[in-house]
Amino acid sequence: MEQFKGYTYVDGGVCAAKGFQANGLNCGLNSDKNKNDLALVVSDCLCNTAAVYTTNKVKGAPILVTKKHLEVTGGKTKAVIANSKNANTCNADGEEKASMMASLTAKQLGIAKEEVIVASTGVIGQILPIEPIAEHMEELVKGLSYDGNDKATNAIMTTDTVPKQVAVSFEVDGVICTLGGMAKGSGMIHPNMATTLNFVTTDMAISVELIAKALSEVTKITYNCLSIDGDTSTNDMVCVMANGLAGNAEITEEGNAYEAFKQALYIVMMNMTKMLAKDGEGATKLIECTVSKAKDLDTAIIVAKSVIRSPLFKCAIFGEDANWGRILCAVGYAEAEFDINKVDVDLASAKGVLPVCRNGAGVEFSEEFAKELLSEDEIMVNITLNEGEATAKAWGCDLTYDYVKINGDYRS
């Protein structure tokens, strides 16, 4: 992982920060008894909370319920209940079932149901059976622990092949704070907001308003710059919970302390974004596209995202073919204004750097070296627009035969 001065990576994911417990178990939604399907994250005290959601017009019932809860409490929550295998979306009784999940959780914890965030992921359009969840809620709560993050992370995975967790510690005004998260996602991933289920916890004391501001700004340059397949999910959510147990003075205005929090949020969300990209369904390679020297941030983001979501370019990376024309094609149809005759493109990996385009035109290169460079499992595309100082990154993966296989029988 990329190192950032003043920030130290630590273990624990959503349990890394003080005062957060978690658990996960198999309640029966998933027929594979070795796979957890129900997760719970609980704070020892009320948290200031903010969230962002999918922009898909079809929204999962858990999102609708969670939004109502945050509105009622003014951004005060204490727990997250989440299930996999069933998205609880496009169901006539969806909101009722999502509300019941919150009520069942609240009853066991002795809190208000509005203090519970609800999330679901899995197959769309299938009725969510509430009975397995109800029958296992007591066991789920009794099993909560301050190192239960692995069980919870496993429970939100669907076609994911690896768990996704990151946490960092850092100092603010002489106080050590920690921020960590867990994420799930492998397919049906595309901006905008968000891209998957993502839960972030911190023991820092910070206002709801500033959490919301930082989350919006960081989401723009991390999760919203991620694309696996061009499909924006119906259940995407990112929530950030801050319980204040680190003991710092609550951050209520922008300044150095706020910037420290925002940077920690960026580190965690950026790393989870890369994990999501690398674990794209059927993926064999992570692709990171960096656009630099753009006239503004939005232009850099638009161009980077245009390249990362090009099916033809993704196929070329799978085939380890340095077909740079597909990159320039995607740059060319990006909905932004710039001079294509100033554009430079390099391909890079652990094997080195390969210039393929200068001033909008191809340059000679070794096909043999290109093949060697593209044989790595992490490929960088570096695009220089030569019109300003703004830089942005976007992340994706190659498009493989296995992606079609996985999505051809997703429900089975």
Could you give the domains of the chain? 8-278 (3.60.70.12), 286-408 (3.10.20.340)
Q: In whole angstroms, what is the distance from residue 305 CA to residue 307 CA?
A: 5
Please, what is the average pLDDT of the chain? 91
- The average pLDDT across 122-145 equals 95
Q: Which residues of 126-160 are buried (b: 16+ CB within 10 A; e: fewer)?
A: eebebebbeebbeebbebbeeebbbbbbbbbbbbb
Q: Where are the beta strands (DSSP E) in 232-377?
A: 237-242, 286-294, 344-349, 352-358, 361-362
Higher pLDDT, 186 or 153: 153
pLDDT confidence of 18, banded at 50, 70, 90? very high
**Is the separation of the CB atoms in 108 and 137 below 8 Å?**
yes
Least confident window among 22-26, 117-121, 159-163? 159-163
Choice between 237 and 186, residue whose per-residue pLDDT is larger: 237
- Residues 6+ away with beta carbon under 8 Å from 236: 53, 54, 56, 193, 194, 195, 196, 197
User: What's the pLDDT score for residue 196?
Assistant: 65
Q: For tokens 């965690």, what's the residue?
A: 268
- CB burial class (10 A; 0-12, 13-18, 19+) of residue 350? exposed
The count of C-alpha atoms lying within 13 angstroms of the C-alpha of 56, restricted to the half-sphere facing its C-beta, is: 24
- Catalytic annotation, residues: 195
pLDDT at residue 288 is higher than 90: yes
Q: Are 84 and 121 in contact (CB under 8 A)?
A: yes
Higher-pLDDT residue of 344, 408: 344
- Considering only the C-alpha atoms of the chain, give the largest distance between any 2 of them, rounded to a whole number of Å: 68
Q: For residue 10, what is the DSSP state?
A: -
Model pLDDT for residues 157-206, shown as the tens digit of each residue: 887 888 999 999 999 999 999 999 999 875 444 554 334 689 999 999 99
C-alpha–C-alpha distance, residues 341 and 302, integer Å? 18
Q: Give the separation between CA 293 and CA 62, rounded to whole angstroms.
A: 41
Q: What is the pLDDT of residues 40-90, one digit of tens each?
A: 999 999 999 999 887 666 668 898 999 999 999 999 999 999 999 998 988
Over the stretch 306-327, which tens digit does the pLDDT of each residue have?
999 899 999 999 999 999 999 9
What number is the average pLDDT over the span 101-127?
95
d(CA 239, CA 264): 15
Q: What average pLDDT does this structure show over 107-114?
A: 98
Asked whether the beta carbons of 39 and 200 are under 8 A apart, the reply is: no
Give the DSSP H or E segment for 98: helix 94-109
pLDDT of 399 reads 85
pLDDT over 60 (residue 234): no
Backbone phi, psi, residue 377, to 5°: -95, 0
Answer whether 290's CB lies under 8 Å from 380's CB: yes
CB-CB contact of 44 with 243 (8 Å): yes
Strands (E), 114-236: 116-120, 164-172, 175-184, 197-202
Half-sphere exposure for 165 (CA within 13 Å, toward CB):
21
Q: What pLDDT is recorded for position 237?
A: 82
- Band (pLDDT 50/70/90 cuts) for residue 230 is low
pLDDT of residue 195: 41
Contact (Cβ atoms closer than 8 angstroms) between residue 313 and residue 327 = yes
Closest C-alpha to 210, from 256, 171, 174, 175 = 256
* β partners of residue 24: 39
Prior bond of 382 cis (ω within 30°)? no
Nearest partner of 225 among 313, 165, 306, 333, judged by Cα: 306
Q: What is the pTM of this model?
A: 0.85
Mean pLDDT of 358-386: 97
Which residue is associated with the tokens 């753009």?
294
Q: What is the DSSP string of 102-147?
A: HHHHHHHHTS-GGGEEEEEBSBTTSPPPSHHHHHHHHHHHHT-BTT
Q: Is 188 helix (H, G, I), strand (E, B) or coil?
A: coil
